[in-house]
Amino acid sequence: MLRTSSAAYLLARARTPEPPELADIAWLKALLPNERERALADLKVVQVEGGELLCRVGRPATYWFGVIDGLLKMSNDTAIGVPITFTGIAPGGWFGEGTVIKREAYRYNIQALRKSLVAGLTVETFHWLLDRSIPFNRFIVQQLNERLGQFIAAREIDRLGDPDARVARSLAALFHPILYPNVGSLLRITQQELGYLVGLSRQRVNEALSRLGVSEAIRVEYGGVRVLDLERLRGYGMR
DNA sequence: TCATTAAATTGTT
DNA sequence: AACAATTTAATGA
């Protein structure tokens, strides 16, 4: 039961965003009043159900997306059909700027792991801001820089043999304060969802989380994980 | 608002 | 993969 969403469909369902949802968009606050006004007018917010695809490989990029609430995953289908997950995208995270800048087609699938609120800025407005706003450019540069760091870290995670360490580092990535500023100290994610992201069974994730809890790096809660010590989580299993 | 019931999530085998 | 226990969400008085 996998529903797909065309850009037109998303647009048709979009509603005008309300202040509480937009209050947490970091880059909006840095804009000049007239630029912010235009961005606000262009922003669309849609609710997507768990399992829905926001963008598909090959579709032309029409929006730059941001997660208001919920959890998404970025993945790709390999030649043999086994999808590989690149990363999860948590509240406050924005993505797709690489593709939007080049005016190309999406190179990955973005799927909602559960019901989520997603904001979209059109390519036109994105470029309009890129052409005149220095704060906006700063945000984008920082965004690209941080994400590069995260992808390099992800390569290391893949090579880690210890499942506990993989869960720890993947979790730490989702608590990245710059890429996902609105996660806070409590990340709403089920152990099943975390299993999808890390590529482990739910049982193994459960086991890993228990140990991370014992080490005081996190506290396992119903339907989520609370970070007690982000540094400890990042360095779990290293010596 | 409260009690009951269904659904989701977790911990364990 | 299956099970029971626990927590949350939904429902209706």
Asked if strand B contacts A51 at the CB level, meaning under 7 A, the answer is no
Average pLDDT rounded to a whole number, residues A135-142: 97
Task: Give all strands of the β-sheet with A83-89 in edge-to-edge order.
Answer: A53-55, A109-112, A72-77, A83-89
Reported pTM? 0.86
pLDDT at residue A215, as a whole number: 95
Residue with the bigger pLDDT between A22 and A180: it is A180
A202: the nucleotide nearest its CA (via C1') is: B10
**Structure tokens, A199:** 């590529």
pLDDT at residue A202, as a whole number: 97
What CATH number matches the domain at A7-151, 2.60.120.10, 3.90.320.10, 3.30.420.40, 3.40.50.11900? 2.60.120.10
Give the rounded percent of residues in chain A with a pLDDT score beyond 70: 89
C-beta neighbour count of A206 within 10 angstroms:
16
Asked if strand B contacts A220 at the CB level, meaning under 7 A, the answer is yes
A194: the nucleotide nearest its CA (via C1') is: B9
Residue A123 has pLDDT above 90, yes or no: yes
- Its CATH architecture, for the domain A161-234, is Orthogonal Bundle (1.10)
Q: Where are the domains of chain A?
A: 7-151, 161-234
Asked if strand C contacts A192 at the CB level, meaning under 7 A, the answer is no
Distance A211 CA to C10 C1' (A): 34
Residue A9 has pLDDT above 60, yes or no: no
Instruction: Please check whether residue A204 is in contact with residue A163, taking contact to mean a CB–CB distance below 8 angstroms.
Output: yes
**Structure tokens, A114:** 């559960």
Distance A67 CA to C13 C1' (A): 39
Tens-place pLDDT, residues A179-208: 999 999 999 999 999 999 999 999 999 999
Tens-place pLDDT, residues A60-69: 899 999 999 9
Residues sharing a CB contact under 8 Å with residue A159, sequence separation 6 or more, in sequence order = none
pLDDT at residue A82, as a whole number: 65
